[in-house]
Structure formats: C-alpha cells, structure tokens
Amino acid sequence: MPLPARSPSRRTATKFATEPANERLALETDFRSGLKAEEMVLYAQPQVNRNGNPVGAEVLVRWRNAKRGLVPPDAFIPMAEATGLILLLGKWVLEAACKTLASWARTPALEHLSLSVNVSVKQFHEADFADTVLAVLDETGANPARLKLEMTETIFAERLEDFVAKMQRLRKHGITFSIDDFGTGYASLRYLQRMPLDELKIDGSFVGDVLSNPNDAAIARIIISLADNLAISVVAEGVETPDQHSFLLEQGCQKFQGYLFGRPMPLAEFQVAMETPQVI
C-alpha cells in the first residue's frame, strides 16, 4: 500500500529541460569549468535530537562562481542530473564529506557528529558504486559509522534488488541509509520492509503546514508511526517554529532539522557553531 503522495517541492526534474537551449549550454559549460576549478563548496545544516542537542548535519552543496555568484543547488542539480555530471559532483561531495568526518574525529566537540550525504539514483546505478564509497572511506580515514547516505523515493522505481545488495554491502561496514523527502513519492510499504534502512525524513512541505492542514498532520503522524513500527529513526525537515517542533515531539519524532535549529552554513561556520552551541 503506497503512502499518500505529493509532488516534490524542491526537486524540479524538468527545470533544466525547459530552459532555452543557449542558457542550458552556458550553464553546463560554466558548471564543467567550475568542477575543474574546484568552485564547489559544502554547507551543512544541523540536525538535533529530542533534547535539542546536535547529532549531525546534512551536507548541502553550493557553487561559488565568479560570474554567477553563489549558486543554490536548485539552479544546477537538474542540469547535473540531465547531463550525467551528477556522477562527478556526487563523487566530489562524498570525498569532501569524508575528509570532513576524518577531521572532526580529531576534535572532541565534533567527533560524535554524523554527516548525511545526498546520493543520486544515477550514482547508485553505477556498478562500482559500493567500491567507490568504500575506497573514499579508506583513503580519507573517515569512520563509516558517521556517514549516512540519503536518497529519494525514486530508488523504488527500478532495479531494487541491485540497490538493496549494494546497501547491504555498505551497511556491513557501518554506513547508514536514509530516505529523503519521504511521503512525496509512491514508496511501497512492501519495498520499505525489504530495504536495509535506518531513517526516514519527513519532507518539509508537510512540516510547514502541519498545524494548519489536517492532511499534512495525518501524513506526519503516519510516517512517524511507520518508522517506529519498522524500528528505524525519523527526522522532520523544515522545522521553523516552536509550535511545529512541539507538535512533532508529541507525535514521537526523534530528530529535527530546519531554521529553528540552524540555517545551512559553510562548514567552517558550522564547526564554530558546534563548539559554541548557543550560536544555533
């Protein structure tokens, strides 16, 4: 039985395809040059537990270009997906995140934190995906138990057995897995039972209206209950107000992410904030 579905609010798969051809070409050309020139930068948004204590962060990539300025992911991720450049970008993000984890392991205020890295379905399609992840962990010295790989519900669409096999192999090394934007697609509950998942993330589009829209409130309750029954964790994204936080706490939500606890910030700022938690 699928959960109630809703169109994703953030990921616009057709955005790149609908732009004028010259703009698409210019964006792709600039982005290719940007990858070579190491113009990508990592941001992090904190995640906290029920007591408000930081437990990790989601890694978010930005593109700092001399001509375009600081480019948000919505402006270039659709292009990267459409052109296959998401593979190069995804590898860079994974390497940068693992280097960060290895560095944090030497800092008492940061060593307990995990990092969630978004992984494209196209990356999972690569035959050597698991080998690549393990090689990056080995090269950087990062603790696999501090790395969480996030994917969207589109992973359920095809080649599920292949994905499950790769996940099981990586999970044996301590890596954990999360389904991002849960509730916006058509995830089958039967498939959920088969996947070695550790976490579901309630999409922020539900959280934003959780106090005013009974349907969104019901979906949030369903997801939290589902996660509890599957013995996996649940994170609410997009928490912006104390009232939203209180409602989700009452429902049994375990972790939270959103402007109430901290905006996405450059990694250096995030590290300072973790050492002085009152900043968040």
- Dump pLDDT digits (tens) for 141-182: 999 999 999 998 877 777 888 889 999 999 999 999 999 888
67 domain-assigned: yes
One-character DSSP codes across 132-178: HHHHHHHHHT--GGGEEEEE-GGGGSS-HHHHHHHHHHHHTTT-EEE
Q: What is the pLDDT of the chain when averaged over all its residues?
A: 89
117 domain-assigned: yes
- Asked whether 234 and 254 are in contact (CB, 8 A), the reply is yes
CA distance 44 to 152: 19
4 domain-assigned: no
8 domain-assigned: no
CB atoms near residue 56 (< 10 Å): 21
45 domain-assigned: yes
Q: How confident is the model at residue 187 (pLDDT cuts 50, 70, 90)?
A: low
Residue 2: pLDDT over 60:
no
Which domain range does residue 137 map to? 15-275
Q: Averaged over 92-112, what is the pLDDT?
A: 96
Q: How confident is the model at residue 10 (pLDDT cuts 50, 70, 90)?
A: very low
- Asked whether 206 and 219 are in contact (CB, 8 A), the reply is yes
Q: What is the model's pLDDT at position 87?
A: 96
10 domain-assigned: no
Task: Say how many domains are in the chain.
Answer: 1
One-character DSSP codes across 57-99: EEEEEEEEETTTEEE-HHHHHHHHHHHTTHHHHHHHHHHHHHH
Residue 122: pLDDT over 60:
yes
Tell me the HSE value of 73 on the side-chain side, using a 13 A CA sphere.
19
pLDDT tens-place string over residues 26-75: 999 999 999 999 999 999 999 999 999 999 999 999 999 999 999 999 99
Q: What is the model's pLDDT at position 280?
A: 42
Quote the pTM value. 0.88
91 class by beta-carbon count within 10 Å (0-12 exposed, 13-18 middle, 19+ buried): middle
pLDDT tens-place string over residues 217-259: 999 999 999 999 989 999 999 999 999 999 999 999 999 999 9
CA distance 31 to 139: 26
116 domain-assigned: yes
- In the DSSP assignment, the letter for residue 188 is B
> Where residue 200 sits, what CATH number does that domain have?
3.20.20.450
166 domain-assigned: yes
